[in-house]
Amino acid sequence: MKTGLYLHIPFCKQKCNYCDFASFAGREILMKDYVSALLAEAKNSPVHQFETLYIGGGTPSLLPVELLEQLTQGIENCFGAISHFYESTFEANPESLTEEKLIFLKKAGFNRLSMGLQSFHDRELQTLGRIHTQGDFLRAYETARQVGFQNINIDLIAGIPGQTLASFLTSLQHVLSLQPQHLSVYGLQIEEGTPFFERGVVCDQLLMRRMLEETRACLLAAGFHHYEISNFARPGFEAKHNTHYWQYGEYIGLGSSAASFIEGVRKQNVPNLEEYIRRIKSGQSPVDFQEKLEGQALEGEKLLLALRQLDGVAPTEKQLSFFESEIKNHIEQGLLERVGKKVKLTEEGLFLANEVFCSFVAPFESICK
């Protein structure tokens, strides 16, 4: 069975106003100990052969070159050459992605780069709490192309406070002119605990939907494949690591807060940096939580993840035994449609996907209407 490997690098120069990920600003002093702990955990991995590699964060590109060297050498010692992974992605932010780091990453064997742009307008970047500028991004992107990266993803956000439809479409057109192989376009979500939430920021949902509708039309016309709710790719450049998640494949996650899913059991490491490092150094397990889904909960999660993909899913008999009425209701509401043996989100369903997904998540007696 195919298995993916994820390494979490939780360090950031500054925490963004919308970010609820397990990432920390101003903790660079822990980087060296953290990388050592991460590689110690890697040696104890229950799996040592993987098809895909994804290094995410946080801001992995914040690591200095000497720690990148230690990290990649440790990966090779445990799991083989990075160039042997079918897909190996490195996540980066423009302000910390230097020419030296890009040359190193390419030489190390990474074949995919994911760059967090979010907007082409400096004012909108400032609103988000990003610390790069449009110019920083263009320099990093051009350098990435020059050193040989031929598979680059760019992230954009729709619905930034103060953003207009015109400014968003300008960002989108600028990005298209750069000819990336992949685009991830997310509607802004205001999550509890973030600065935006604390300030009472509210998104204009109708405007955000218009932005996402325009995105879909524009990218389809430009030859992109809309293969997952927020993801578009040139044919053949779909993200294989993430697709593996949506197809309920197994994966190992290493690092603080990283999750693993093996033999039906999901585990998640402790999120606190110091505690993660302490546990690894003392020979303790970093796992903070684990569960094994069975029955209705298991089949519901499989359906939820599969329906994120625009090709849809052919429900099994077991899944229909649990959720046939819910699927039928969503078809009647125009949020799902049948195409042959498959069920998939309609175009309307793309923008109301959470209303569909909550039908497949426990507690099932609280199914949303």
Per-residue pLDDT reduced to its tens digit, 183-224: 999 999 999 999 999 999 999 999 999 999 999 999 999 999
Domains of the chain: 3-245 (3.20.20.70), 295-366 (1.10.10)
Q: What is the mean pLDDT of the chain?
A: 95
Residue 325 to residue 315: CA distance in whole angstroms: 13
Average pLDDT over residues 23-48: 95
Tell me what the mean pLDDT of segment 61-73 comes to: 98
Alpha-carbon distances of 282 from 148, 175, 277, 285, rounded to whole Å: 42, 47, 9, 9
pLDDT in tens, 262-300: 988 999 999 999 999 999 999 999 999 999 989 999 999
Burial 276-300 (b: 16+ CB within 10 A, else e): bbebbeeeeebebeeeebeebbbbb
- pTM of the prediction? 0.95
